[in-house]
Chain A
Amino acid sequence: MSIVTVQLGQCGNQVGLEFFEVISNDANDRQRKVYSECTNDRFFSETSNGDLVARAVLIDMEPKVISQSVAKAVKSGKWRYGEHSYFSQKQGSGNNWANGYCVHGPRHEELVVDLVRKEVERCDRLAGIIAMMSVAGGTGSGVGTYATQCLRDAYPNSFILNHLTWPYGTGEVIVQNYNSVLTLSHLYQLSDAILVHENDTVHKICAKLMNIKHISFSDINKVIAHQLGSVLQPALTGDSNGVYNKNPLAELMSGLVCHPEYKLLSLCNIPQVSSSSMVYSVFTWSGLLKHLRQMHISNTKMEEGIDWQVRAPCLQSGGLERTKSHRRKGFNTSLANLLILRGKDVYSAEIGGFQDPSLYTSWLPAVEAFSIWKTPVTFNKYEKSATLVSNSQALLQPLDYMVGKAWNMFASRAYIHQYTKYGISEEDFLDSFTSLEQVISSYSLL
């Protein structure tokens, strides 16, 4: 089954490019026929002369990034974007969510839906749609939200996963918290699941683990692409009987998003090392999984500075009753987790640590809450690679921070005139704040 990717805005288009780059390199790396066929069918269509064409639609309100991405894809020599699968305008959305959502989005609705429809028609069977975008700017966030809404209407029964890049805590766009609040509150009603990468976290991974001195956006996007690829590349699910999972989006969501109030997914991946030290590194599954588990429960997003003091709460013999006092400081409670293991000796990996009921909320048994995918095929040059996709409290803190900052600004009504100009009123803001406070409250009560 195939996935159609919609890349929106500068960030979405840059991340999308790196993602297809990783996928195409990984799939056509070595002798791995079944695996490559599955990937290629999933993410690429093949032309009559054998060219791999990404199943992607590129959308931006400004031409520079798209033309760069299209050119870079051709330059790779391995794959390219479709000749008619991109759409750009001349003038960007100016970091204004309202401009993207109320003006650009509706104006280009037909064209965008049409582009996606053509791409969907090229798939034998559609697994779902991934929309990649940032939440900080105007086009990715505003047009992205509007486009997601249109796609929801056009494909009511398909899975839609929004992959969001959250901005640095400071220093990208001044109105980023407004744009983020508006985006998230709307997507929460539209999307089946929201997978989040935070720039701050990824930046740290680049600095500390990959040892990159002068970190560029391309480096950051490569890490995001690697992590995404480690989830979306073919793998064997528990009941797939040796056949690669057909619809990774459906399986991802059925495992992780069991309640519509909880759809924020975060990602941890190990190991991540610089290519120069990869040759000298040996990893064992037990070591990797021990680290990954501790990263998860202590909510550390990378394999450094893990707080080993954090322990899962002891469950009382009387049952799984957990009161507020039992919630440990720093402990990250999960609703559901998906563990994905790729590489050598994968069947020897001991995964019991993730099936521990104390990791999960009281109202969902661990058997339901935990799922695992495996494949002995190595991923992106890593001999072993473990990824945990988690629906947990991991994003609670950054979300709370974001909403808090936006609320502070809203209290003094700063920048509001820029939004009302395009038809987003103060009431719209209040609605968005309310719905996100609800999300925050739900997650903190897990």
Chain B
Amino acid sequence: MTQSVVVQVGQCGNQVGCRFWDLALREHSHVNKTGIYDEALSSFFRNVDSRRSHAGACDVVGGRIQSLKARAVLVDMEEGVVNEILQGPLREVFDSTQLITDVSGSGNNWAVGHWTYGSAYKEVIVDQLRKTAEHCDCLQSFFLIHSMGGGTGSGLGTCVLKLLEEEFPEVCRIVASVYPSAEDDVVTSPYNSVLAMRELTEHADCVLPVENQSLVDIVNKIKHMSYSGNPGSMIKKDTAIISGRGGVSGAQKPFDAMNNIIANLLLNITSSARFEGSLNMDLNEIAMNLVPFPRLHYLVSSLTPLYTLSDVSIPTRRLDQMFTDAFSKDHQLIRADPKHSLYLACALMVRGNVQVSDLRRNIERLRPTLPFVSWNQEGWKTGLCGVPPVGHSHSLLALANNTCVKSTFMELRDRFAKLYRKKAHLHHYLLVDGMEQGCFTEASTSLSSLIEEYTQLDATKTRMIPDPTRLNIAT
């Protein structure tokens, strides 16, 4: 069994990370009733005997659970969120050595995060990453959680990404990036996001973009639905996807519902690597199947079902509905409509009691309605994991490499251009050591060429593409 390490950077990264660890614990305690440290647990947790000073002796699968420690590195350049974690119910899961903090923050400045803190903390971060990696006997992937709009998550986060590539070139780098809303209160967020985008395009294996606004919309929709219940389709108030009930944290904080969605995304993407299933889908298969060209590694994700119907008497329809919903606009974690753009590839990761025939039926049903690129008309990848998420009988995570992702990027580019035309706030960045105006133009060019690549693929959608001529055998 392989292990994964979570690196959470900045305020948003750490808040999402906390929800992830809480829900991961909830999921494993739900599945594992024996109290034995099993393979599945070992993928994200170490088992440590805290009474001994040199921990790690009971890190062997099969022993009793002593004290679970998250395979995580927490980085923030201010102390607020991390201190909250240390006083909260999750404090047992982290060692103080896993935390890397400073006091003054990055002031929403990518350059400060990336260059100033990046060079000051490089050794400490690499050291901690190495230690965490040494505790794994087969490290498969790093999950980086960060936001794009701020200074630390965006700047230092992408610096950590580069360090990961340098230090662990063999280990897959999957990044969950939270994109700011248009009405973001950080004025410089377009700068930070575009500067970060270039790093993501060049150094990540896969990026799972999540838009803040989509999370808000989803949470509002769920809340709205649970209040306006007509008797036939009563929705359980406590939908498992946004609720943290059953976790260690008690009271809910304002962003918890939204952060839980990202946490669930990460739980589902790793489910097949942790639990058994009739069609396993390992983490290294994600990039292999979904990334046809190295730079186009942005995967639009959708989670279904988003809410739990209290009426459970119509199982098949619900199952098929789950597949339909995964392609609808309001289930996507970015604000875009994949159905009206072009699919390069699509993965369906199913959990729970679902058979291959259910999967095939739904692919056959949905296929005609979805436009795929000419050379990948059968671009489906599937995984079946036997263990459903807590609170559901089955669930589906759809990961799509779809050109619709470019709308998010274009919006970002426009907002960037608006600021940059006036050179607004530029001097804050240029004061930082290592930062030059060239960084802005290069980042902007990189984003434009990425958008252009998607546009070119989009253009093939309306054209009839003839099959290329096959090789001829002289007879």
Contacts and interface: CB of A to CB of B under 8 A. Distances in A.
A and B are partners in one complex rather than unrelated chains: yes
Interface of A: 10, 62-65, 68, 90-92, 94-96, 138, 168-175, 203, 206-207, 212-218, 220, 403-405, 407-409, 411-412, 414-415, 417-418, 433-434, 437-438, 440-441, 445
A94 B288 contact: yes
Interface stretch (B62-70, B225-233, B378-386, B442-450): B378-386
Given A414-B375, A441-B473, A172 B1 contact: no
Given A91-B2, A437-B470, A174 B379 contact: yes
A440 B196 CA distance: 49
B359 A408 contact: no
A297 to B, nearest CB: 25
Interface residues of B, number: 46
A260 to B, nearest CB: 16
B59 to A, nearest CB: 15
A437 B356 contact: no
A214 B355 contact: yes
A63 B358 contact: no
Closest 5 CB pairs of A and B: A94-B284, A170-B378, A90-B138, A414-B292, A215-B357
A90 B288 contact: no
Interface string B336-377: 000000000100000000011111100100010000001111
Contacts of A434: 471
B35 interface: no
B101 interface: no
6 contacts: A10-B280, A90-B138, A216-B356, A403-B470, A408-B468, A414-B292
A169 B364 CA distance: 11
A218 B380 CA distance: 21
B473 A68 contact: no
Given A214-B358, A417-B294, A438 B473 contact: yes
A437 B471 contact: yes
Nearest to A90: B138
A171 B1 contact: no
B140 interface: yes
Contact of B468 (A411, A415, A417, A441): A411
B167 interface: no
B234 interface: no
Nearest to A408: B375
Contacts of A64: 1, 276, 280
B359, B378, B380, B468 pick with most chain A CB within 10 angstroms: B378
Contacts of B363: 170-171
A438 B474 CA distance: 9
A407 B382 contact: no
Interface string B1-33: 110000000000000000000000000000000
A174 B289 contact: yes
B373 to A, nearest CB: 8
A405 B288 contact: no
B138 A94 contact: no
Interface string B259-281: 00000000000000000101110
B471 A433 contact: yes
B471 A404 contact: no
A171 B289 CA distance: 11
A65, A95, A418, A433 pick with most chain B CB within 10 angstroms: A95
B411 interface: no
Contacts of B414: none
Contact of A95 (B285, B358, B377): B285
Contacts of A405: 377-378
A438 to B, nearest CB: 5
Contacts of A407: 467-468, 470-471
B276 A171 contact: no
B292 A91 contact: no
B335 to A, nearest CB: 26
Given A91-B140, A94-B282, A404 B382 contact: no
Interface in B452-475: 467-468, 470-473, 475
Contacts of A220: 356
Given A217-B279, A433-B471, A437-B473, A418 B288 contact: yes
B289 A215 contact: no
Nearest to A63: B1
A354 B284 CA distance: 49
Contact of B284 (A91, A206, A216): A91
A438 B471 CA distance: 9
A131 B231 CA distance: 57
Contacts of B382: 171-172
Contacts of A412: 375
Contacts of B291: 415, 418
Contacts of B358: 214
A218 B290 CA distance: 27
Contacts of A95: 284-285, 288-289, 381
Contacts of A169: 378
B269 to A, nearest CB: 14
A96 B284 CA distance: 9
Nearest to B344: A414
A169 B360 CA distance: 11
Contact of A415 (B292, B467, B470): B292
B137 interface: yes
Given A95-B288, A96-B288, A175-B289, A90 B378 contact: no
Contact of A174 (B2, B345, B471, B473): B345
A91 B138 contact: yes
B381 A172 contact: yes
Nearest to A171: B380
Contacts of A172: 279, 380-382
A173 B293 contact: no
Contacts of B355: 214-216
A105 to B, nearest CB: 16
B393 to A, nearest CB: 14
A63, A169, A172, A213 pick with most chain B CB within 10 angstroms: A172
Interface string B80-111: 00000000000000000000000000000000
Contacts of B470: 403-404, 407, 437
Interface in B100-141: 137-138, 140
Contacts of A171: 359-360, 363, 378, 380-382
Contacts of A92: 280, 282, 284-285
Contacts of A440: 473
A433 to B, nearest CB: 6
